[in-house]
A and B are shown apart, each in its own frame.
Chain A
């Protein structure tokens, strides 16, 4: 058997699904209550060591809210001792100055803070909890401590019109990077798709604002803005640069995923870090081979000369829209299912359904 040539560059460690917020586009599984079990400290530390040996460069500590883990400082310390570049994505509602300072000492390299909207009332409504003030305080505190900070704002119908305010806020708070990420319609976001999808006019306006700000100069602020594939692309995004190519994720309960939302695809069996090393999983687990390379592809991808550019798009999106995870991503205009994208857009323009907020209890 030929071994794949690449080793993973990034490991997403979702250390918990617990979170004090309820974002309606959360990428955690809808059936949250089924996944309450969490790996213990020693197992995570072993996983970080295995990741470094396997060639992982960047570790993303995420969740849920990673800061609700009581051992989070130890996890950061051990990850950075293993030689990993350590990022943390946090809602920052439980990040006071003392905690931030200890994270810095433990070796955290980069802090990514989510913000839901530029205005406190709307942020708090979308998050399902009063959180704007704490997020602001955490960002300012992190900057004082010398962290590089990325502000991450997920964009959708209910905040897109304030994109200019969002940028102004990022400049005012002096963050280093602003990630303006349009909602990816998997997880809770797929359930809320018709309620979240912006209109074409909203998107054109947002695009124009970003272009204008960039042209005027952003004064050291690095703005990342990728337009949503539903509206703007003929071809799908190169999801994760291909399945099983650079990325692996470990869920709170130790299951290893080729993509953060792969659990939505039925029929896939995921290996667990309790039973195998990350190296064995990366090279040998059937689920990592399932959509690796181009062998698995149907037409029109199989004979398309973009097959090694976009790898046929996102498997989760293909499954959620067509029921077949091996189908060409319907976003592609060559896909026989492309009409599904047009229908979803129409549905979104014509209706304004309520949002379902993420819930864990049951």
Chain B
């Protein structure tokens, strides 16, 4: 198994963007040849992939959802997006 890497500076890959689907009432991440339907938490994460660090992103989520411990979930979700090619780690390139 691959070692679990941490993404430190998450930015959406070129061509990937957040979209509100007014017909389906749905948050989406759309990219070339594909789309992911987002829930409330993943939407919040995606919208914070704006050049800030993952640590900063997690801190902001904690403020928005007091009492939550989102760090593990955030890192897993970011890794998943990176594996699909829709997120880059600016810290490594």
A: residues with CB less than 8 A from B are 7, 9, 52-55, 57-58, 83, 85, 87, 109-110, 112, 146-148, 150, 176-177, 220, 222, 224
Contacts and interface: CB of A to CB of B under 8 A. Distances in A.
B47 to A, nearest CB: 17
Interface stretch (B18-26, B57-65, B72-80): B18-26
Interface of B: 13-15, 17, 19, 21-24, 28, 30-33, 35, 85, 88, 93
Contacts of B15: 109-110, 147-148, 176
Contacts of B33: 58, 87, 150, 177, 224
Nearest to A55: B23
B19 A148 contact: no
Contacts of A176: 13-15, 32, 85
Q: Interface of chain B, helix or strand or loop or mixed?
A: loop
Contacts of B30: 57-58, 85
A109 B93 CA distance: 23
A322 B34 CA distance: 33
A220 B93 contact: yes
A253 B22 CA distance: 29
Contacts, number: 52
Given A9-B35, A110-B32, A150-B33, A85 B13 contact: no
Given A176-B15, A220-B93, A55 B32 contact: no
A85 B35 CA distance: 10
B32 A57 contact: no
Given A109-B15, A146-B14, A177 B32 contact: yes
A62 to B, nearest CB: 13
Q: For B15, B17, B30, which residue has the most chain A Cβ atoms within 10 angstroms?
A: B15
A222 B13 CA distance: 12
B23 A53 contact: yes
Given A58-B35, A110-B32, A148-B13, 12 more contacts: A7-B24, A52-B23, A53-B23, A55-B24, A57-B19, A57-B21, A85-B17, A109-B15, A110-B15, A148-B14, A177-B32, A220-B93
Contact of A148 (B23, B28, B32): B32
Contacts of A224: 33
A177 B16 CA distance: 13
A148 B85 CA distance: 12
Contact of B23 (A7, A112, A220): A7
